[in-house]
C-alpha cells in the first residue's frame, strides 16, 4: 500500500462503526501527533514507518 492508501485506510477505520473504540483512539492519537509534527521539523522516515505499523496493526485486528 502507498502512504496515501494507508492514510485513507486509517480514515475509513475511524468511520467504521464496527471498529473498537480503543483502535479508533490509536488512530486519532497517531493523526494528532503527525498533524502537530507537520508544523514542526518532523522526520519523514518515522512518519512512513509509523503509518505502516499502525496500518498493519489495524488490518490484523480487524481481519483485513
* pLDDT of 38 higher than 70: no
Domains in the chain: boundaries: 3-61
Q: Contact 14/28 with Cβ under 8 angstroms?
A: yes
**Cβ atoms < 10 Å from Cβ of 10:** 20
* pLDDT of 53 higher than 80: yes
Confidence at residue 15, expressed as pLDDT on a 0 to 100 scale: 95
Q: Contact 49/39 with Cβ under 8 angstroms?
A: no
Confidence at residue 27, expressed as pLDDT on a 0 to 100 scale: 92
Write the Ramachandran bin of 38: left for phi over 0, alpha for psi from -120 to 50, otherwise beta: alpha
In 3D space, the residue among 20, 56, 2, 14 whose CA is nearest the CA of residue 64 turns out to be 56
Q: What is the pLDDT of residues 4-21, one digit of tens each?
A: 899 899 999 999 999 999
Q: Which set of grid coordinates corresponds to residue 26?
A: 490509536
Amino acid at each position: 500500500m502507498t502512504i496515501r492508501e494507508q492514510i485513507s485506510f486509517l480514515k475509513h477505520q475511524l468511520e467504521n462503526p464496527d471498529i473498537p473504540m480503543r483502535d479508533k483512539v490509536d488512530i486519532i492519537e497517531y493523526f494528532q501527533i503527525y498533524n502537530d509534527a507537520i508544523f514542526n521539523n518532523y522526520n519523514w522516515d518515522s512518519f512512513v514507518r509509523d503509518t505502516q505499523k499502525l496500518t498493519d496493526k489495524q488490518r490484523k485486528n480487524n481481519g483485513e
